Structures are given as structure tokens and as C-alpha cells.
């Protein structure tokens, strides 16, 4: 267990915000997790569990303890003719997990390629992209309960997954530390290609019988075309959730905005494209101080100059929220954890 004091968090968050943590504890093994619990009273509170730092916006120095998750490892724990269970330690890079499955021809995670972060963060946020959500492949999640010191395991149902959320983001936020995630993956599955631009690229490439690797390659291309690389331009990917509204609200908006982008969730609920709303509100490519909105994807807020503060980015987010409320009577909710 590595302990550091007065640590600069700029290298540990994808926005590249320079703030300092009173204390940082890095956990790299199950022994480290157990040792942390035994000495938990020695560390200043509050705690904040930090994975890859790709979904966190710091607005000030952190006066408590940052718990950095760094345990690595991927292993097949069960296997039969049709599927296998893959256990990934929480500190494993998410893209390494996806590529591990792709090189073995496994079905399930290919649509989630190139999402920055770590394996342990995936169930917390129930990450999703291009018609897929990670909840559809998660078998179970192992974690350390910081109240009891017990290592526990929740099955898929117990994780209470919702759109971009789970029990770990709500009831157990900063009360548990995820140690590993088990994925149930298929050896011969059905690819999710319903997302329009995926089909367009399949046709262009002449791929009539694509493999998971083909879908992953196409999605990597799409993401590279639309999204900034956080290693070059600080960002956290999608800053806002796509709001879900009643059908009646969506229908009213459709009369006013015939080009409204929406997706049916149920008979009486529709998901609205937050990126379309932000673009329609005139913020695509907009800048305020050192913060900005990406010129190719309005859903992404960026540290445009590399010198932005967290408060500058949240100030820009507030402008966007207020404008979209006035235009659409819908309040956008950040996906990003703002501290």
C-alpha cells in the first residue's frame, strides 16, 4: 500500500486539472485492500475512490483521502462450449480488457472499445456506447465493504443497474471499493449493429459477416473522428447524460423542433440526444475562458487551453444547463462526478 501526502492530481484526472490531495493511498493487491481497511481510521475523511480519473472533475483541492485503484489482472475462471467467465481486477485498463476479449473472438464488449477508464469503474457508471451497456455482460462484482471490512460479491441483479448508474453510484458511493468484475461472454453471440453509423460503415467496407473485431475497429474509427483524445485535450468524454422524458414532452418538442433526435425507451418514455440539444442551443465549438465545447461533439466539454480550472468547466456546464432548460424545458444532468 503506497501512501503519499500533498499529491498533485493533474496526472490522475483526464481533464488535466491541477489540484492537490491531502492524502493519496494507492491499492495494488487484495492484501492492500485489507490493509487499507485495517488502518482506515488513520486516513483523513472524506474518501474518494479514483479509478482512471476519466469521469471526475476536480474544482478544488481535495482535503480528504484519494484511494487510487491499481490492481491488475485478467483471468478466465469458468468456461464451457458456449461461453466463459472472465474476471478482471478493478485497476485493469478498460481498453486492455476489451482487446483481450476481441483477440479471442469473444462477443459482448466490442461496442465499448475506447471508453477511457478502468474495469472497476465500468459497473459503477454502467458504461455504454453505440447500442450497448456493460450491464448486459456483467456476471458479478466483487468489492470491499468499508463499513464491515468484508469482501463481498453481488450478482448482476443485486447491482441494480440503471441508465448510467448502479447501486455503487447511489447507495454504496464511496462506501465500498470494487476489487474485480466478472464478465459473462459468448463464444458465438449476436453483434449489436443497429446503431445507424455502424451499419453505414459495414456497408462501405463490404462486411456482410462481421466479427467482434470488425465492430470494434469500426467503433474506434467513429470515436477517433468525433471525440478528442484526453491525452491531448483534457476531457471526460460525454459530460451530460441523455435525458429521458415522457412521450408527451417529446411530442411537444417534436412539433417545435422537427429535427429532434430521440430514441424510444418504452411505450411512454423517450431518451433525448443531449448532444443535439447542446448543438441546437448554439454551444458546439463555444469557448468561455480556458474551457470549451468540442467542435465535433457538443456533448464533450474540454480543457481547451490546458489551463482550465474545474470551476471554469462547471461554469460553462451551468450556462449550457440553463440554456437547454429555457429552450427545451429539460435540465441536463452531468455524467461526470464533480468534486
Cis peptide bond upstream of 46, omega within 30: yes
* pLDDT the model gives residue 174: 83
What pLDDT, on the 0 to 100 scale, is given for residue 102?
95
In a domain, 215, yes or no: no
| pLDDT score of 195 more than 80 | no
As a residue count, the chain comes to 339
Residue 328 and residue 254 in one domain: yes
Q: How far is CA 201 from each of CA 197, 227, 297, rounded to the nearest angstrom?
A: 6, 17, 19
Spatial distance between the Cα atoms of 75 and 91, rounded to a whole number of angstroms = 14
Closest CA to 113 of 197, 216, 201: 216
26-35, 164-173, 232-241, 315-324 — which one is most confidently predicted on average? 315-324
Selected residue with higher pLDDT from 190 and 101: 101
The pLDDT assigned to 122 comes to 94
Q: Which of these three, 69, 98, 114, is where a domain ends? A: 69
Supply the CATH number for residue 242's domain.
Answer: 3.90.78.10
Q: How confident is the model at residue 301 (pLDDT cuts 50, 70, 90)?
A: very high
Is residue 267 one of the residues assigned to a domain? yes
170 among known catalytic residues: no
Q: Which three cell numbers stand for residue 321?
A: 444547463
User: Are the C-beta atoms of 305 and 23 separated by less than 8 Å?
Assistant: no
Q: Look at residue 18 and tell me whether its pLDDT is greater than 90.
A: yes
Active site residue 104: no
| Domain count along the chain | 3
Tell me which of 104, 164, 252, 269 is the catalytic residue.
164
Average pLDDT of span 31-48: 89
Q: 195 lies in a domain?
A: no
Kindly report the backbone phi and psi dihedral angles of residue 52, in degrees, each rounded to the nearest multiple of 5, phi listed first. -85, -5
pLDDT at position 279 over 90: yes
Asked which of 49, 69, 89 is the last residue of a domain, the reply is 69
- Residue 284's pLDDT is 94
Residue with cell 425507451: 265
Q: Is 92 a catalytic residue?
A: no
From 151, 186, 221, give the residue that closes a domain. Answer: 186
Q: Cα-atom radius of gyration of the chain, to the nearest Å?
A: 20
What order do you get walking across the sheet with 291-293 strand by strand?
Answer: 234-238, 300-303, 291-293, 287-288
Mean pLDDT of 132-147: 94
DSSP annotation of 44: P
Distance, CA of 328 to CA of 326 (rounded, Å) = 6
Which is the catalytic residue, given 140, 166, 238, 262? 238
- 155, part of any domain: no
Which pLDDT value is given to residue 89?
A: 97
131 Cβ contact partners less than 8 Å away, ≥ 6 residues apart: 111, 192, 193, 194, 195, 198
Per-residue pLDDT band for 75 (boundaries 50, 70, 90) equals very high
83, 92, 110, 335: which one is catalytic? Answer: 335
Q: Which domain holds residue 93?
A: 74-141+179-186
pTM to 2 decimal places: 0.83
With bands split at pLDDT 50, 70 and 90, how would you rate the model's confidence at 137? very high
Residue 256: exposure state from Cβ atoms within 10 A (0-12, 13-18, ≥19):
exposed
What is the CATH classification number for the domain harbouring 59? Answer: 3.30.43.10
In contact, 153 and 87? CB cutoff 8 Å: no
In whole numbers, what is the pLDDT of the chain averaged over residues? Answer: 92
Amino acid at each position: 500500500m503506497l501512501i503519499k501526502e500533498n499529491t498533485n492530481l493533474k496526472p490522475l484526472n483526464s481533464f488535466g486539472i491541477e489540484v492537490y490531495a491531502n492524502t493519496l493511498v494507492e491499492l495494488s493487491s487484495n492484501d492492500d485492500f485489507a490493509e487499507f481497511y485495517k488502518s482506515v481510521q488513520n486516513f483523513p475523511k472524506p474518501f474518494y475512490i479514483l479509478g482512471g480519473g476519466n469521469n471526475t472533475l476536480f474544482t478544488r483541492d481535495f482535503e480528504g483521502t484519494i484511494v487510487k485503484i491499481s490492481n491488475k489482472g485478467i483471468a478466465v475462471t469458468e468456461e464451457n462450449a458456449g461461453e466463459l467467465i472472465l474476471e478482471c481486477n478493478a485497476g485493469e485498463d478498460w481498453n486492455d480488457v476489451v482487446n483481450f476479449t476481441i483477440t479471442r473472438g469473444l462477443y459482448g464488449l466490442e461496442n465499448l472499445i475506447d471508453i477511457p477508464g478502468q474495469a472497476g469503474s465500468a459497473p459503477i457508471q454502467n458504461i455504454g456506447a453505440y447500442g450497448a451497456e456493460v450491464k448486459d455482460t456483467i456476471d458479478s462484482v466483487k468489492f470491499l465493504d468499508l463499513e464491515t471490512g468484508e469482501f463481498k460479491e453481488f450478482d448482476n441483479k443485486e447491482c441494480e443497474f440503471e441508465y448510467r448508474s448502479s447501486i455503487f453510484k447511489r447507495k454504496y458511493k464511496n462506501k465500498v471499493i470494487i476489487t474485480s468484475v466478472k464478465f459473462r461472454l459468448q463464444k458465438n453471440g449476436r453483434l449489436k449493429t443497429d446503431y445507424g453509423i455502424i451499419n453505414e460503415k459495414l456497408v462501405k467496407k463490404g462486411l456482410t459477416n462481421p466479427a467482434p473485431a470488425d465492430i470494434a475497429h469500426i467503433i474506434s474509427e467513429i470515436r477517433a473522428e468525433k471525440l478528442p483524445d484526453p491525452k491531448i485535450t483534457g476531457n471526460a468524454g460525454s459530460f451530460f447524460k441523455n435525458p429521458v422524458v415522457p412521450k408527451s414532452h417529446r411530442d411537444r418538442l417534436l412539433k417545435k423542433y422537427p429535427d429532434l433526435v430521440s430514441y424510444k425507451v418504452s411505450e411512454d418514455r423517450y431518451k433525448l440526444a443531449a448532444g443535439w440539444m447542446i448543438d441546437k442551443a448554439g454551444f458546439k465549438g463555444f469557448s468561455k475562458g480556458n474551457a470549451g465545447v468540442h467542435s465535433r461533439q457538443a456533448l464533450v466539454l474540454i480543457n481547451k487551453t490546458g489551463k482550465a480550472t474545474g470551476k471554469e468547466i462547471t461554469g460553462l456546464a451551468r450556462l449550457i444547463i440553463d440554456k437547454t432548460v429555457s429552450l427545451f424545458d429539460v435540465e441536463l444532468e452531468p455524467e461526470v462526478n464533480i468534486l
